[in-house]
């Protein structure tokens, strides 16, 4: 097949590849301090700049957050299990669709 790498073929890292990695690393370094301070404020239950938006979402009930409700371990376990199961199904479906689009064997005509 054309486009497939041969066994003896060598691929090199190009300048755009290196620049992409460097830019990604630079962005992570730049935002690390501010994100860390924000998370510290959230876990310390202090006021943050996102509180008006997040409190509005929580009050509407769309997030399912209840301030006065302590979650027992069984409820927490079911919430984590459900979240992971939904993520698994979505990612599995995405990979199957991508494989079907790229494989000439699976394409129906």
Q: Which positions of the chain have pLDDT values less than 70? A: 1-8, 61-64, 67, 102-109
The confidence score (pLDDT) of residue 11 equals 76
pLDDT of residue 105: 57
User: Are 5 and 11 in contact, with CB atoms under 8 Å apart?
Assistant: yes
Measuring CA to CA, which residue among 73, 93, 95 is closest to residue 85? 93
pLDDT value at position 98?
86
Q: What is the pLDDT of residue 39?
A: 93
Quick one: pLDDT at residue 4?
Answer: 57
- Closest by CA to 65, choosing from 74, 55, 78, 75, is 55
Query: What pLDDT, on a 0 to 100 scale, did the predictor assign at position 7?
Result: 65
């Amino acid at each position: 097949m054309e486009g497939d790498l041969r066994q003896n073929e060598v691929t090199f890292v190009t300048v755009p590849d290196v620049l992409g990695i460097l830019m990604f690393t630079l962005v992570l370094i730049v935002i690390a301090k501010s994100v860390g301070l924000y998370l510290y404020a959230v876990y310390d239950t202090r006021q943050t700049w996102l509180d008006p938006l997040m409190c509005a979402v929580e009050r509407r009930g769309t997030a399912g957050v209840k301030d006065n409700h302590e979650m027992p371990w069984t409820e927490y376990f079911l919430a984590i299990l459900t979240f992971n199961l939904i993520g698994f199904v979505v990612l599995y479906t995405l990979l199957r669709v991508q494989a079907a689009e790229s494989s000439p064997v699976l394409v129906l005509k």
